[in-house]
Amino acid sequence: MKPQIAELRRLIEGAAGVAIVAHERPDGDAVGSLVALTLCLQNAGKQVSSILADGVPSRFRFLPGSDEVQRTFPTDCDLLIAVDCSEFERTGFKSEDLPRSVDVNIDHHPTNTHFGAVNIVDPQAAATAEILFDLADPLGLDVDSHVATNLLAGLVTDTIGFRTANVTPKVLQVAARLIEYGAPLAEIYERSLNRRSFVAARYWGRGLSRLEQEDGLVWTSLTLEDRQHVGYTGKDDADLINLLSTIDGAEVTVIFIEQPGGTVKVSWRSRAGLNIAPLAAAFGGGGHHQAAGAMVTGDLEQVRERVISATRAIFESDSGKGK
């Protein structure tokens, strides 16, 4: 057993109260990994608080156990675990909001800063959920159908339905095991990836109406006014980026989502062979080779200008090529 895993086992055995946090603006891997680990530790007799700064997005509320997620930390706990966070700031909390510093950091982002006292980071893993599945046995934790459902939701969403280049035979073997444990693949796929609200579709329409293309680059923006006009209450792109990245010839896709207070959320997606994680890191963000993001200060116009010109440059240099 790796020393970090033995240490995690020791920490879990010695803890009565555990708090687990995943990242702000949570995706399916953040919610699924958080809730799966929460349920495992509850089944092992621990008192567990699961926390998301932004709460659970409606599309993931079908996940069993997701209704227990809180938005704030308890005043006290013996063990604090972060899942699917590449750096501490991704939790969406300040250190003074936490009852203790992060003991354990479990993640799969190549840009992870190893901010925990114990760090279990595997950039080869397709999702944090895959790492957690592998940890269950050595940690002596049971995977039941609810745990499996949450883990499979993490795998399905982070691989966009097993479509990303990091889907190995092992990822599909893990998925098969999770289905054997009772995870309903078709329902997870439908609810967490395919289904859209009417309002989200209208929001997409605003972004699609101003879509631009130049060589292998495709981009668009979503404004505060768009969200107000259609009544979309999220601060995200409602996953429009994944639709844009299916466009023929779009080697790199970028979306700019205007935020309140003079910042812009930028999301990048690339086809296999172009690594956009360093570009996102250069703008203060991070992510994976083919999916990365950053929160950039400035107005929409300025940020678009800066980001598009920097993104154009990765086609011209070799820095984005290879893995």
Question: DSSP for 68-130?
Answer: G-BSS--S--SEEEEES-SSGGGGS--GGGSSS---EEEE--TT----SSEEEE-TTSSSHHH
Q: Which is nearer to ligand 5GP, 34 or 41 (CB)?
A: 34
Q: Rounded to an integer, what distance in angstroms lies between the CA atom of residue 184 and that of residue 204?
A: 28
Please return the burial class of 233, using the count of CB atoms within 10 Å of its CB with bins 0-12, 13-18 and 19+. exposed
Least distance in angstroms from the C-beta of 238 to ligand 5GP:
11
* CB distance 160 to 42 below 8 Å: no
If one asks whether residue 154 binds ligand 5GP (CB under 6 A), the answer comes out as: no
| Interacting partner of 86 out of ligand 5GP, Mn ion, none (Cβ under 5 to 8 A depending on kind) | ligand 5GP
Q: Which stretch binds Mn ion (CB under 5 A): 155-163, 187-195, 287-295, 315-323?
A: 155-163
Query: Residues 21, 38, 69, 90: which binds ligand 5GP (CB under 6 A)?
Result: 90
Please return the burial class of 13, using the count of CB atoms within 10 Å of its CB with bins 0-12, 13-18 and 19+. exposed
Residues 4-33 that bind ligand 5GP (CB under 6 A): none
Please return the burial class of 176, using the count of CB atoms within 10 Å of its CB with bins 0-12, 13-18 and 19+. exposed
Query: Residues 49, 86, 112, 253: which binds ligand 5GP (CB under 6 A)?
Result: 86
If one asks whether residue 29 binds Mn ion (CB under 5 A), the answer comes out as: yes
Q: Which stretch binds ligand 5GP (CB under 6 A): 134-142, 194-202, 285-293, 312-320?
A: 285-293
| Interacting partner of 150 out of ligand 5GP, Mn ion, none (Cβ under 5 to 8 A depending on kind) | none
| Interacting partner of 29 out of Mn ion, ligand 5GP, none (Cβ under 5 to 8 A depending on kind) | Mn ion
If one asks whether residue 84 binds Mn ion (CB under 5 A), the answer comes out as: yes
Q: Rounded to an integer, what distance in angstroms lies between the CA atom of residue 207 and that of residue 227?
A: 10
Q: Which is nearer to ligand 5GP, 79 or 270 (CB)?
A: 270
> Contact letters (x/-) for ligand 5GP, 237-276, by CB under 6 A?
------------------------------x---------
80 Cβ contact list (under 8 Å, min separation 6): 18, 19, 20, 21, 98, 99, 100, 101, 102, 103, 104
User: Where do contacts with ligand 5GP occur on this chain (CB under 6 A)?
Assistant: 86-87, 90, 111, 267, 285-288, 291-295
